[in-house]
Amino acid sequence: MSGKLGVVMDPIGDIHIGKDTTFAMLLEAQRRGYALYYMEPGHLYGRDEVPWARRYPIEVQRDPGNHYRLGPAESGPLTDLDVVLMRKDPPFDMEYIYQTYLLERAQDRTLVVNDPGSLRDANEKMFTAYFPGLAPPTLVARDARVIHDFLQEQEAIILKPLDARGGEGIFLVRRGDPNFNVAVETLTHRGTRFAMAQAFLPAAGEGDKRILLVDGEPVPHGLLRVPGGEDFRGNISAGATTELAELTERDREICARIGPELRRRGLLFVGIDVIGGYVTEINVTSPTGVQELDYYAGTNICGDLFDAVERRLGA
């Protein structure tokens, strides 16, 4: 298909082209004949009822250090693009929300992936609450006493911020841990911000399985991220190693429960994290893992994604 595709992302000059999922998306779109336009969040703006952007025509190639070429900047309404990929990484803060407001105003004529309203509503940590029985025991609170009582029940918990990514700001605390108070104070900013606590799953030592869903359907394999060294976090950015993982019956049950709701909300590209048969997060902002899975399994996940995009476009 030929058409116009814009991408909102962090600076493209800083990405690792051998791992970056957005880069893989751009390569696939370019292969399909889309004219590509690059935008950073600060390039978006609204004029009256119309969302606009300063955007740059871009070409991409798999050449380290020379992986993109930008054309001269131009300004135009987002509505003259066929597709916009929203791939800005968290933090999920008010600036991110303002970006979704601007993108949402283009949706009468432009397909935005993922749906901006759903990006606001489906918080990556808290969205698991919509699917009872799929997540481990979970608490969202900012009161240290409530979190302390939860720890006494669970014996060991994972504490995490609601707006970060890549394992940032995550603590493992056990009953009687002298660091409990400082961890809670740090995450809740002394009781002024909500944080999440989840029961610690011993199976985390065996790895955290990332499963990608395209328009509600899981890709054929998962990506197992195994913590490195003495770190408990299964995040690649925290030193985890990766390997191919088959989807279990439980994994498929989870996807069958979650998939229809993702499709209904316009969340075409989502990554869920599964540990020991429980979903710990539902990643909707800028899920990763495509290049690793394609390498291990010989798949073309971005091809599947653009097939879904073009079905939505009626192409």
Task: Tell me which residues are annotated as active site.
Answer: 125, 160, 210, 225, 233, 273, 281, 283
Q: CA–CA separation, 31 vs 142, rounded Å? A: 48
Where does 177-288 have alpha helices with state H? 180-188, 249-264
Residue pair 164/173 in contact by the 8 Å Cβ criterion: no
Alpha carbon separation from 82 to 37, 132, 173, 287 (Å, rounded): 11, 37, 47, 22
Q: CA–CA separation, 95 vs 284, rounded Å? A: 17
Residue pair 88/286 in contact by the 8 Å Cβ criterion: yes
Q: CA–CA separation, 103 vs 98, rounded Å? A: 9
Identify the residue whose tokens are 């029985």. 133
Alpha carbon separation from 24 to 162, 201, 224, 288 (Å, rounded): 27, 32, 20, 10
